[in-house]
Amino acid sequence: MLKRAVLPLALGLPLLLGACGPVASLLSSTDGEKGPLQFGPLAVGQTWTLSGVVDSRNVVTTVKIPDLVNVQGKFASSSARDEYTGFNDNRAGFAVATYDPDRRNAEFRWVGDAGAASFDKVVYTCKLDNLAGNPLIGTLTYTRNGQTVANGTCEANLSSQS
């Protein structure tokens, strides 16, 4: 009785394994080399140029992607601790890029120069909901001391990829 139950499974096994072949070939690299780690539009080694107009001023910065790590379900260019330190210490120029696979959007945040009021915390956020096209177009938010001051538009251009 047991032989009759096992025989159909044994005969079907090669078909099941054969169905996995296309998936395995898609996942394997033909030349044995792997490309840079990539999630959404972000890949290790990239440099992005962000620009926009908000609160009647032009804003421009560059954001490098040295690594991509999982931070609370998103993929980010720096760890949560580095991000916290950079923003908490108000380090002008510190930037982080994130990609949210659930929402399929990307976001670039950076610490801006507070000017004469050096104790103020200035943060710019370029949120990109549409990840198609070049440049990527999004919403630029300018916050000072945690309060939104103004919104504008931003562009994200891939400057280089190593």
Model pLDDT for residues 123-134, shown as the tens digit of each residue = 999 999 999 988
Distance CA 20, CA 11 (A): 16
The pTM score is 0.76
Nearest to 152 by CA among 37, 48, 22, 58: 58
Nearest to 94 by CA among 125, 63, 59: 63
Model pLDDT for residues 69-114, shown as the tens digit of each residue = 999 999 999 999 999 999 999 999 999 999 999 999 999 999 998 7
pLDDT (average), residues 5-18: 44
What is the CA 81 to chain-centroid distance, rounded?
17
Q: Is residue 54 part of a domain?
A: yes
Q: Is residue 19 part of a domain?
A: no
3-state SS record for 132-160? CCCCEEEEEEEEECCEEEEEEEEEEEEEE
Question: Is cis: bond before 135, omega within 30 of 0?
Answer: yes
Question: In the prediction, which pLDDT does 34 show?
Answer: 66
Instruction: Name the residue range of residue 135's domain.
Output: 38-161
Pair 111, 86: CB distance under 8 Å: yes
Model pLDDT for residues 30-47, shown as the tens digit of each residue = 344 566 799 999 999 999
Q: Is residue 75 part of a domain?
A: yes
Q: List the structure tokens of 75.
A: 């993929």
Distance CA 161, CA 153 (A): 24
In order, the DSSP letters of 75-107 are: EESS-HHHHHHHHHTT-TT-EEEEEETTTTEEE
- Number of other residues whose CB lies within 10 A of the CB of residue 41: 18
| Single-letter residue type at 34 | K
pLDDT at 18 over 50: no
pLDDT at 13 over 50: no
Q: Is residue 154 part of a domain?
A: yes
> How many structural domains are present in the chain?
1
pLDDT at 14 over 90: no
